[in-house]
Structure 1
Amino acid sequence: MHVFVTGASGWIGSATVTELINAGHRVTGLARSDTAADRVAALGATVLRGTIDDPELLRSAAAAADGVVHLGYNHDFTRMAAAAATDRAAIEALGAGLDGTGRPLLIASGVFGVAPGKVLTEQDAPAGQGHPRQENAQVALTFADRGGRPLIARFAPTVHGTGDYGFTRMLAQTAKTKGVSAYVGDGATRWPAVHVKDAAALVRLAVEEAPAGTILHAIAEEGIRSRDIAEAIGRGLAVPVRSIPAGEADEHFGWLGRVFATDAPASSEATRRLLGWKPTHPTLLEDLAADHYYA
């Protein structure tokens, strides 16, 4: 297959490009800068210069491909509405390029805000609440009615591994700066997790095999207690570990405090059955026992 990937130079994107190429697929990766272009080329992919806010470019690139993986997103939390609007326009353009072809369009989404208060499963439809990407995922699913093959991959909030610069890295940096590794309340809230290479393998399997309208969970671990995460970071940095009240979470962690204090367990049982996906890479706590989060 010839797969067009947005966000190809990013954390999950670069792992996905490598996974696709290693499986024998040809990849074109979108790159918005010289640095991103160099990274995409180094992975062995063809570079397409451009940005996700160019609908005509996206439509044309999708039409020329055998499938699309849309991972590009602006994660500036101060501009959530604008980022979601850009994402929706990009999804609509990519979908238009694949109309009537039966070719896959995989959209990245997340697990927060879909089904609060329960273990999230693939059967729980996007609820249009919480993060606005949930609404965009709902839009993508309608492309099945136009002869496309839309797929929604809900990623764990913690996609970890060497080189991770996401939530787990931020927690480690906060602990390093403040000299204490903290958790909120009793630390019983749970974070799902997946290693970045396992996530990339799931994306490849989905593009190759998953039927239209499938919701998939890139979840290797249903939920690790926030206290266990904090204790692992404390050991890695040799700093004390303590609980902080919920009312102090924003002061200690910034906006990340609300995320870390959210209980969001998620299952991937249906995904594993459908695709035969078997995560094999280190767990989150195994990764936190290594040095790369503390350098």
Structure 2
Amino acid sequence: MRILVTGATGFLGGATARELVRCGHTVTGLGRDATKGAALEAGGIGFVRADLRVPADWRPALDNTDAVLHAAARSTLWGRWPDFVADNVTVSREVARACAVRGLRLVHISTPSVYNATRLSHQVPETTPIGPRFDTLYARSKYLAELEVTQAHPEATLLRPRGIYGIGDTSIIPRLARALRAGRLPQLVRGEVHTELTHVRNVAHAARLALERPAPGLYNVTDGVPVPIWATLDALADALGVARPGRYVPARVVENMARVLELAARLHPARPEPALTASGVRLLTRPMSLDLTHARTRLGYAPVVHPAQGLAQVLAAVRS
């Protein structure tokens, strides 16, 4: 199958593009980073340098394509709403429309961050009512993108992988490592909080399954096994050779402090990302697991990397 991957110079897009090539598919990646593009080409992946906000940059690449994996997104807890709309909502709509017109299979990467403002936290299904409130601008933009994609391309597959991690991660582990090194992360809970994460290879596996078989609809994706957040933070601190989170400060107090920092950042002309965000605090203090029944039964999904293995690899890389 000839597959076009958007965001191929990113963490998830690159990992999935390499997985697809290993499985015998012909893959072309889109991205803006020519250096990373050259690395993809060295691995047998075609590369087209493109700005997804400019349709003329990427539409010609659809002419020799059977399917598209749309992995590109503005994925951050902080930013300007017009940028989230441009990169997540508008681009997703245009990609979906272009695929629908050409009859191409489309797999769109969304996020379970859309669930964060709901009251559910255990075995959350895809049918969970969402909105009108959202935890972050990112979550809101990704939900609006889902609506645009399903309207433009009803046969599209949408994946909601939670907390993507692995070697090469540029978000979760680096953010936590910076907080631990700075010594600004207190113990926010008494006891433990369990959540689910998704190793990047498991997301790539789910994406490949969705590309290889028609499976329209929404699918949660995780490693399928809850992990203890604070024990994992302790292990990360040990790997970094820094102090573990020590003194206890109630999560509500820290979240209120984060809101003050956010307000100050919004009033600043440059709107810099604050050192702490309220949504970031909630991610460390709220349990979450997702119902994988849909993915298991309709996609045939089963995780290929267990979180114990995946996190051990990440911690080993941190130590080295």
TM bin, normalised by shorter chain, reads 0.7 to 0.9
Higher helix share: 2
Query: Contact 2:109–2:159 (CA<8 Å) still a contact in 1?
Result: yes
Tell me how far apart the structure 2 counterparts of residues 81 and 128 of structure 1 sit (CA, whole Å).
18
CA contact (8 A) 2:224 2:303 kept: no
Change (3 A) 1:187 1:134: farther
User: Deviations along 1:186-217, whole A, 9 cap, x unmatched?
Assistant: 354443211111111111101111422x1122
TM-score for the superposition, normalised by structure 1: 0.86
In 1, distance between residues paired with 2:58 and 2:133? 27
Match of 1:110 in 2: 111
In the aligned structure 2, how far is the partner of 1:126 from the partner of 1:102? 29
How far residue 63 of structure 1 moved from its aligned partner, in angstroms, is 4.6
Against the structure 1 CA distance between its residues 83 and 294, is the aligned structure 2 distance closer, same or farther, given a 3 Å change threshold?
farther
Range with bigger deviation, 121-130 or 30-39: 121-130
Q: What is the CA-CA distance between 1:260 and the residue it aligns to?
A: 2.5
- Give 2:176's match in structure 1, choosing from 165, 171, 174: 171
Matched, 1:134 2:157: no
Change in 2 beyond 3 A, CA 1:107/1:114: same
Structure 1: gaps of 5 or more residues: none
Q: What is the match of residue 197 of structure 2?
A: 193
Who is 2:254 aligned against? Answer: 248
Cα 1:190–1:104 shift into 2, 3 Å: farther
Corresponding residue number in structure 1 for 2:317 = 292
Judge conservation of contact 2:196–2:225 (CA < 8 Å) in 1. Answer: yes
RMSD of aligned residue pairs (Cα, Å)? 2.7
| TM-score normalised by the chain length of structure 2 | 0.80
State the match for 2:80 in structure 1. 79
Residue 303 of structure 2 corresponds to 279
8 A Cα contact 1:173 1:294, kept in partner: no
Q: Indicate if the aligned counterparts of 1:17 and 1:27 stay in contact, CA closer than 8 A.
A: yes
Unaligned 5+ runs, structure 2: 262-273
Q: Which has the higher strand share?
A: 1
TM-fit CA distance, 1:176: 2.3
Distance 2:185 2:317 in 1: 17
C-alpha distance in 2 between matches for 1:55 and 1:111: 28
CA contact (8 A) 2:195 2:227 kept: yes
Matched to 2:223, the amino acid is A
In the aligned structure 2, how far is the partner of 1:7 from the partner of 1:220? 22
CA distance in 1, matches of 2:191, 2:111: 22
8 A Cα contact 1:2 1:66, kept in partner: yes
